[in-house]
Structure 1
Amino acid sequence: MHICFLTNEYPKAGFPHGGLGSFVKTMAETLVAKGVQVTVVGLNYVFSDEIENVNGVNVIRIRKSKVKGLAWYFNSKNIGKTIAAIHKKNPIDIVEGAELSLAFLPKIKEIKYIIRLHGGHHFFAEGENRGINWWKGFQEKRSFKKAAAFIAVSNYVKSHTATYLSYHNKPIEVIFNPINSQLFQPKNVAIEPNNITFAGTICEKKGVRQLIQAFPLVKEQFPNAILNLYGRDWLFPDGSSYIKMLKEIELPKLGEYAKDVVFHGAVSFTEIPNAYAKAAVCVFPSHMETLGLVAPEAMAMEKPVVFTKLGPGPEVITDGETGWLCNPHEPKDIANAIVEVLSNPEKAQAIAKQAKRFVSEKFALHEIAQNNIDFYKKILLF
């Protein structure tokens, strides 16, 4: 079997990437270990073509088009030509991409095209409190029509996406994203008892602003608390920095507590476990998630986790049993959950151990990879 993943975010040293890139890397390398041939095709981080084999995965990065206004057309055309050339030499069975990826991609009749629901434009419109951009909305609808099947990374993303878009009666299956248990496992590292850690893109939909607003309420009971924020900056449509906004508007409201909010910037995927290892509590108060791997990754390391009660939160955490769920729009609710963890370290550790057992079963890498292989085989029969 030959699988081709479409992504522009496949991890590359020296360049930031998101959760989609991390997922594809983890899944691709595991599929290779199971005897599946995997190719990744996407646009390069720099203006050049590049081909490399990374741990058995053939990664093809294509030079981005610089044609203003028509870059989308030429990029899709070049990706399509690349896939056709690969297929002619070494037939591809499945092409898989995210929600928008098939919109302008020429289809080859021998290939089955699958969309994995990582959270598309329609899905996140509500979470970001904005309307549907007609151009992105058009692309997403066009892409969905071209898919032979769908994989949803949670029951929530499956049901919520269906309120906006049709699956056209095509097969759809819920398969959680896996955890890389070799990377995310307990470490013999001293825990910093006042260390509150967040990891993810520093943006509004991840609940960072409300987490900062919750921080003074935590400081009232734990004066030595430190809020560590790991992640890349997000830019507003006008190009301005979200972190800069936080520093200019939100941090001054904290007064003397502002010095204890630390922005560490983007860190590599392999460095994140070191950040979690030192934390007394990991907090991810997202407004909207498809699944949110950061929470189960931290849980896999036996860390007490505070996660959002919205969306897929209850699929990942049973409140009070495997972690804590909070209202991400209410700073007081976020603070209360953090204070409960810091006030009860023995209880928190017992819950963290239970959390690890849960994710070891539900997010097991090789089992989930096999679930994907089984689904691919089923689609190839259609």
Structure 2
Amino acid sequence: MHICFLTSEYPKEGFPHGGIGSFVKTMASALVNKGIKVSVIGINYIPNDETQIVDGVNIYRLKRSTVKGLAWYFNFKAINNKIDQIHRQDSIQIIESSELGLAFIKKIKNIKYIIRLHGGHHFFTEAENRGINQWKGFQEKKSFKNSDAFIAVSHYVKNHTEKYLSYHNKPLAYINNPIDTDFFKPIIGNESENKIVFVGTVCEKKGIRQLIQAFPFVKKEFPNATLEIYGRDWFFPDGSSYIAMLKEKELKPLGIIANDICFHGAVPLTTLPSKYAEAAVCVFPSHMETLGLVAPEAMAMQKPVVFTNKGPGSEIILDGQTGLLCNPYNPKDIAEKIIWVFEHKSEAKQMGLNAVKYVLKAFDIKMLIQKNIQFYLDVIHQNIEK
């Protein structure tokens, strides 16, 4: 079997990437270890083509078009040409993409096309309190129509997406994002007392502003508390920095305690476990998630986790047993959950132990890779109308 992932986020040293990139890297490596050929096609960060083979994964990064107004057309054309070239050399059976990725992909006979619901344009409109962009909305609808099957990473993302888009009665499976528990595993002895760690893109929907607003409440009870923020910046449509806005509007009024809030920027995936390991508590108060990777990653490392009670929060954490759920819009509630962890270290340690057991059961990559492979095979062998 030959599987091709369409993403421009596949991790590349020196460049930031998001959760989809981390997911595809984890999946691709696990599939290769099962003897499955894997290709990844995306648009490059720099203005030229690149081809790499990393850990057995064939990665094709294509030169980004700079044609104003038509870059999307030429980027999709380049992707289609590369798919056609690879397919003629070594037949592809499955092409997988996120929600918008199949909009302008030219379908080829005997290839099955799958969308994995990572959280698309329609899904996040509600969380970000904005209207649907007509162009992106059109692409997403077209992409869903082109897909032969769907994979939902949580019941929540399936149900919420379904409010806006049709699955056209095509096959759909529920499969959690896999966590490499050989990579994300407990590191004993590296924890720093009362250190709060956040990992993720630094943007409004991740709840980072409310976490910063919660910090003074924590600081009042635990003066040595620090907040370490790891993740790439997000930029407004006018090009201005979200982090710069936070520093001006949220950190400056905090005065001296703002010195204990540190933005570290994006960190390579290879160093991420060491950042989790330093945490006394990991906090992810997202306004909306499809499932998320950071919470189960931190749980796999035996960390007490404070996660959002919105969206799929209860699908990941059993409140009070494998972690804590918070109202991500309420800074005081976020603070109370952090303070509870600091005040109940023995119970928080047990929570971390419970979390590891849960992740090994629900997110184990060895089990989930088999579920993915079986679904791929089921889709390949079904007589799905093109």
In the superposition, the TM-score normalised over structure 1's length comes to 0.99
Deviations 1:58-106 (A, max 9, x none): 1111111111100100110110011011111111000000000010111
What SS is found at the alignment partner of 2:306?
strand
- What residue in structure 2 maps to residue 330 of structure 1? 330
Deviations 1:255-312 (A, max 9, x none): 2211111111111111111111011000000000000110000000000000000001
Deviation of 1:183 (Å) = 1.4
**Are residues 1:190 and 2:159 paired?**
no
What SS is found at the alignment partner of 1:270?
helix
**Aligned partner letter, 1:273:** P
What SS is found at the alignment partner of 1:320?
coil
- What residue in structure 1 maps to residue 343 of structure 2? 343
- What residue in structure 1 maps to residue 31 of structure 2? 31
Which residues of 2 match residues 65-214 of structure 1 at below 5 A?
65-214=65-214
Deviations 1:29-49 (A, max 9, x none): 100100111011111111111
In structure 2, how many angstroms separate the alpha carbons of the residues matched to 1:37 and 1:268?
25
Which residues of 2 match residues 249-328 of structure 1 at below 5 A?
249-328=249-328
**Aligned partner letter, 1:204:** E
**Are residues 1:12 and 2:18 paired?**
no
Deviation of 1:194 (Å) = 1.4
**Are residues 1:368 and 2:368 paired?**
yes
In structure 1, how many angstroms separate the alpha carbons of the residues matched to 2:231 and 2:263?
8
What SS is found at the alignment partner of 2:269?
coil
Q: Which moved more, 1:249-258 or 1:59-68?
A: 249-258
Deviation of 1:182 (Å) = 1.7
Instruction: Could you tell me which runs of 5 or more consecutive residues in structure 1 were left unpaired when the two chains were aligned.
Output: none
Moved over 2 A (4+): none
**Are residues 1:51 and 2:51 paired?**
yes
Deviations 1:207-237 (A, max 9, x none): 0000000000001110110011111100011
Instruction: Could you tell me which runs of 5 or more consecutive residues in structure 2 were left unpaired when the two chains were aligned.
Output: none
Q: Which moved more, 1:127-136 or 1:181-190?
A: 181-190
Deviations 1:94-137 (A, max 9, x none): 00000000101111021000000000000001111100000000
Deviation of 1:191 (Å) = 1.5
What SS is found at the alignment partner of 2:197?
strand
In structure 2, how many angstroms separate the alpha carbons of the residues matched to 1:34 and 1:297?
23
What SS is found at the alignment partner of 1:123?
helix
In structure 1, how many angstroms separate the alpha carbons of the residues matched to 2:265 and 2:88?
43
What SS is found at the alignment partner of 1:188?
coil
In structure 2, how many angstroms separate the alpha carbons of the residues matched to 1:89 and 1:192?
52
Q: Which moved more, 1:182-191 or 1:262-271?
A: 182-191
What SS is found at the alignment partner of 1:220?
helix
What SS is found at the alignment partner of 1:119?
coil
In structure 2, how many angstroms separate the alpha carbons of the residues matched to 1:253 and 1:18?
30
**Aligned partner letter, 2:342:** L
In structure 2, how many angstroms separate the alpha carbons of the residues matched to 1:10 and 1:289?
20
**Aligned partner letter, 2:11:** P
In structure 1, how many angstroms separate the alpha carbons of the residues matched to 2:80 and 2:177?
27
Deviation of 1:52 (Å) = 1.1
**Aligned partner letter, 1:130:** R
In structure 2, how many angstroms separate the alpha carbons of the residues matched to 1:285 and 1:253?
22
In structure 2, how many angstroms separate the alpha carbons of the residues matched to 1:279 and 1:221?
18
RMSD of aligned Cα (Å): 0.7
Deviation of 1:25 (Å) = 0.5
What SS is found at the alignment partner of 2:221?
coil
Deviation of 1:189 (Å) = 2.8
In structure 2, how many angstroms separate the alpha carbons of the residues matched to 1:255 and 1:45?
38
In structure 2, how many angstroms separate the alpha carbons of the residues matched to 1:98 and 1:204?
22
The percentage of counterpart residues that share the same residue type is 62
Deviation of 1:190 (Å) = 3.0
